[in-house]
Amino acid sequence: MKESWRWYGPFDRISLGEIAQTGASGIVTALHEVPYGDVWSREAISGRKAEISKAGFEWVVVESLPIHERIKRGEGDLSGLFANYRQSMANLAAEGIHTICYNFMPLLDWTRTDLAAPVARGGSCLRFSAPKMAALEIFMLGRGAARDDYPPQAVAEADAWYQGSSDEDRARLMHAVMAGLPGAYDRYDAEGLKSQLKLYEGIDRTDLRANYRRFLEEVIPAAEELGMRFCVHPDDPPRDILGLPRIVSDADDISWILGAVDSPANGLTLCSGSLGANPKNDVPAIARQFGDRIHFAHLRNVRKEPDGSFEEAAHLEGDTDMVDLVSALLDEERRRRNAGQGNWEIPFRPDHGHELLDDAARQTHPGYPLVGRLRGLAELRGLIAGLLRVAQQAG
């Protein structure tokens, strides 16, 4: 497996020189400064690639080439947006970059309610509190229907939290929810978020799937011609929130996506944290079921609670059996290599880490500290080395 590291380019407070000291060889990044829907010029791609190469890395995965919200809503004449998207793909391919991670989550990317929840023995982690999210939906956004989306106890706790919260508490919650948006994009206050949600009124799961199928039909044939691999990132959290449908949350969803346009170019980013937050998901089993379509992996762990809350655990702790999962990915690599398949190595990155030691002082992108991810990468590196040695000894 190819060790990689997510880097936010000019927005990142961790330098490529510091990343080099982690031992990773691949960089996962994007042109975060380019507005959604605009073309990524070949010149901009080449410049970013040269910067990465000069530091001794390979740009192994684009994360992400974002999809405009109008495409997700199926709104108006989309021909220009699709043409721009395909041109960005062509420009990336011309620079030798062939793997694109993306998501189809409406409006928000990953969503958390706490960016610095305390961790035993020190440090902090990202957390999704079902009661706090219910408080935001029911009381701050006025979505009365959200009462039916959460367990009664979570709704009761949401009421208590809201009644006891200050304006500062509510602003902090909104800031945490907005933090999942990458790069330098607009964040919303409560009124702004409500106005954006109105644009999705009337769009249900069936509609969103239809819009997603159209996207795949527009880009996967171009990906095949360019020799590119697309890999969808699962929903985070893997459940409907804010009244918006989520359609990449479990094995059934993944099966539908990969079958909607059945092509090796239409693949999966195996994110163990996103899938692991859904109690019904057996993440190692999902990895084995869809192994031949996994083009990229995010390895992290979560610890779930009965009311739907969860928080980031250490990489080798939490509810997902990371040993079994990594074993499944190594088995898939071995299958590809034995079949003589090119590009058999699966790039992975240590996903969301705990803030440890002096991480908090750096004020990096939430979930992307230096020390916490370095710990995760070191643990995963050791796990991979151990599993490879066992396989070698077994013949």
- Contact between 44 and 29 under an 8 Å Cβ cutoff? The reply is no
Which entry of 101, 352, 354, 359 is annotated as an active-site residue?
Answer: 352
State residue 153 phi and psi, 5-degree precision: -65, -35
The residue annotated as part of the active site, out of 235, 250, 351, 359, is: 351
Burial class (CB in 10 A: 0-12, 13-18, 19+), 385: exposed
Clarify whether 231 is annotated catalytic.
no
**Axis-axis angle for helices 190-198, 167-178 (nearest 10):** 50
Q: Which of 298, 315, 354, 359 is catalytic?
A: 298
Cα–Cα distance for residue pair 300/352, rounded to 1 Å: 7
Residue in 271, 315, 354, 359 annotated catalytic: 271
Specify whether 298 is catalytic: yes
CA atoms within 13 A on the CB side of 359: 24
Look up 8 and say whether it is catalytic.
no
Is 98 noted as a catalytic residue in this protein? no
Residue with tokens 């699966």: 346
CB atoms within 10 A of CB 340: 7
Taking CA atoms, 371 is separated from 126, 180, 181, 195, in Å, by 15, 20, 22, 38
Structure tokens at 57: 């890395």
Measured from the Cβ of residue 219, the count of other Cβ atoms closer than 10 Å reads 25
Are 89 and 228 within 8 A, CB to CB? yes
Catalytic residue among 233, 295, 315, 354: 233
- Catalytic residue, chosen from 102, 150, 212, 368, is 368
Where in the sequence numbering do the catalytic residues fall?
A: 233, 271, 298, 351-352, 368
